[in-house]
Structure 1
């Protein structure tokens, strides 16, 4: 939605024109009326008149500069024609926050415990919106940004009260996508109505989601990221594995993906293709076989290195798998251990199934005894068959 700080056309929008005339014009000041209440030291204390601006934008502090074009329209007050430079959009900045993360104002010398225990700490404008929805029927029909149209914020009472006259345009504070849950909360606040708690915001069609991001996804407010999966798959046909990881990191840091963990689950197989080759080269074991978990951990560590170059970390993406206690030293340890672990588990399982089917009844009894103790994590000594004395029964332990 675009906001124009301009005088409307009286013929096409007579009601809007009348509202602007009555409520939204600053009035005459400056050299034309030096005794205006806003005048201070010969200048308007409200910094009117404003400059003409052709496009709405945000200043360096993220405050809006509204489109204010010279459309030639004026409103006459006290026999003076006022143009769009004196138009005052009636906007109410609306703050919001995540659970228990509301802003607290205090002096340097205040005791921390006293500050935290103040009653007003839990009485933010946003939480008061929940309370208004429980108290007023009209509030239940409004989104948070629509609230100032029919209600006014009483700062001294920390409450929303029904508006007696006029109206105001609500403007929810802007937050960029890299703010995570705060960004997704803002997306939902432009849509949901009549909510009474933070948990209600996460409720979609009777299903309660654990995060605001998942609630956005359920409402169709964010994409399914299929185009990013396709992009990585297409690049895998010609690009190096290192470049594929760089592409994945670029998507992460640009906040382009809505659910990065789903993209990772779909494309990780393309990002790990060189891991086994590098491990064999470093350790010197030509037939070393790594399981998928080892490949993923190594690749995530490589992605972590690339993220550090962008002043980011996997920890900045809570849904992303993070290697636990694994380092690149995994591939530079004891050679004997790697040789012992360098086997193809699937091939061994197939061989095992074939050999078990060839066991005699006596051998199967011993096999089951050993496997039962192993499954129950019992300690014991198991003798190989070549240590059995001929002619005597063998019971294993």
Structure 2
């Protein structure tokens, strides 16, 4: 109900906010147009609306900026709410309720802190069941776990001795064990095509080591310890990796995994590509619903968000309490940029040209003020646009940059695809050029002013051998799905953009197939790299 009210407010009470580039406004004025209400795109569902498409996409790109700054996350932690916590049971016993009947209790605000450089956390809700939190931790140099011995200090995958630590043994028995599944329980929810989708039971291992794909194989000794689940004994092969101190402190299912890949961040924000939870109900008249069909007038972002939208009780309670569903640290600066006279201008659709073009924000964009700062501050000229926010802070009120005192931040420049033309080449240069004071400085290489940003890129050697397209696919892979990357590759082929398609294919094939591992036939071994690569190669070709 609260979300419905917010969406109705956005639809009915907000001003008709529109956005257009400065040059388009000037062109419209020169053509004799007297109204600006028909120019530009209308913004309906802003990125500040929690759960919206822009909200999820922007937070995901912020998370990828943290990955770029600190490298791959070190630890991936899944923290699940425990319905048997005493503070929950106190509210349930009197009225004989179930935990899911009190979503206001089980959505409490919990954070795990560690000695880390960055944290990305997402609260995930399901249609049924309890909420759980996924965290990616980026540890500092002292907290890194580069060797198997370091992993053993943090992560355990064995049943503790019942006599030495009975409390931990009880916790592992209640929350950490997986199964029984497989032939012992073929109807278990984790079973897909007669195999456990979580790959349990694992193999015994006398020590922690890494497999051919770089994933850790935790120490699981055949020491005789087991836990009975019904009539089935479960040994160390069925233990979910955990950290002893965390499990004892929170008495809940907390899965701790060593992480060395970017896929963990993509998993956190999988709803960007998967979409939110949905349910569907259809009611029709006797005429098949023809009388209630309406012709759509343009794209309605609110209607798209409403479409079959489902919000669980736990998510609703957390949103009502104003608890965050996404947590990122350090802060991420989103840097905008634009071509000359193409800065975006936001305005009320009821304003006239004179009031829109006379706004103090015109000609004072974040990007232009960066170049103005370089004119007057010698210290600012030694940084690229991406490095600049580490030492300067943008003041949106007076609209200028000032020296930063003390705060760790990460910056990212808005992504644009290769088909954007000059805007795309400008973005490439912004990662290389330091301290420009005007657009001409960005297009100047070795004292020579070039007519286009693309020519400047060529002169700097940034476009040789299709490297800009390889870089574009790699950049896109950092935030998009494999399917989206394959569509980008196809568009580059069909538009004759590539000079050496085979070279681009060889360099990006692994990226184009990163979401196809689950489609490999069961007989393909993950340890045989040559066979696995061949199968994935053919799968990518079939998709393309």
Report which of the two has the higher share of helix. Answer: 1
Q: TM-score range by the shorter chain?
A: 0.3 to 0.5
TM-score by length of 1: 0.41
TM-score by length of 2: 0.31
Report which of the two has the higher share of strand. Answer: 2
